[in-house]
Amino acid sequence: MLIESVPNVSEGRRPEVLDTLEASVRHTPGAFLLHRTADVDHHRSVFTMAGSQKAILDAVLALVGAAVRLIDLRAHEGEHPCVGAVDVIPFVPLGDVPMDVCIETARTAGARIAREFAVPVFLYESAASAPHRRRLELIRRGGLAALADRMRQREWAPDFGPARPHPTAGVTVVGARRPLIAFNVNLDTTRLDVARSAAAAVRESSGGLRAVKAIGVTLASRRLVQVSMNLTDYTVTPLDRAFSAVRQEAARHGVEVLESELIGLVPEDAISGIDPVTIGLKGVGEGQVLERRLRTEVEKWKSGKVEK
């Protein structure tokens, strides 16, 4: 029984820090690091890993320990919303693993993160302790300062840990969910208003596409703007439909799509039958498809090429 976890870390500019975080996962017996993505503008990195319940829990705790030691959120400036050095840690069932196993893992991880690192933890999605905490964007609304104010209220006390943010690591949001796709579409303009308009047009919360979350951000290093999306159920809104909706809204403003990008890994059935070029991707390599990447790592382990 394998569980996937995809910690999002508020660091995307110091390779030496990211290398240390990666090593913490690779040195965990039974855990497989499948992918790492970093972005300097978002100032954020995504680590995709898989393993047994025990191995994935050990790997996540090792990564959190390194991140709390090396990342100071007080000096953090990036385009992506965040409330913690390790901002969010979802646990995702693979194969026939029941969601209840991931919920149990999330709650165990949350309790241990609070106990071992004094970082307050909120549970979200399927692991949420109350309906108003289920959606990640509601927990992060207003940023860390606003969340710190809400934490003084009984209904916003953290699920684990102190009722105030860690001085350098903030808070961490831990949960259990189904697979999602992080999909960004880059527009050939510097006009942030166009990206925000396109994001509003596609996201479900403002009347757009079902199972889509989206924000518009500036990529200063590339002199572009971006519509950054999460497709929370790609069987409801697939990649090609989300891409087409962004392109159509951008065209209304006389702006063309330049390219798109996947952050982390994509489930095999989400890309099957879609020509990557038609959604702005140069291609989808073997290393970007979840099932193929996992098979590769497991085969390497079985052959003795990877010590675990």
Each domain of the chain, given as residue ranges in start order, spans 3-176, 181-293
The DSSP result for 218-278, as a single string, is: EEGGGTEEEEEEEES-TTTS-HHHHHHHHHHHHHHTT--EEEEEEES-B-HHHHTT--GGG
Q: What is the pLDDT of residues 56-90, one digit of tens each?
A: 999 999 999 999 999 999 999 999 999 999 999 99
**Maximal C-alpha separation, the chain:** 55
Instruction: Give the CA-trace dihedral at 171, 211, 218, 268, to 10 degrees.
Output: 90
Q: Is 204 exposed, middle or buried (0-12, 13-18, 19+ CB in 10 A)?
A: middle
**Is there a common fold for 3-176 and 181-293?**
no
Q: What is the mean pLDDT of each run of 10 residues along the chain (308 residues)?
A: 96 98 97 97 98 98 98 96 98 97 98 98 98 97 98 97 98 98 98 98 97 98 98 98 98 98 96 95 90 92 71
- Active-site amino acid positions: 80
d(CA 239, CA 186): 14
CATH of 3-176, one of 3.65.10.10, 3.40.50.720, 3.30.70.260, 3.30.990.10: 3.30.990.10
Domain covering 181-293 in this structure, CATH number: 3.30.70.670
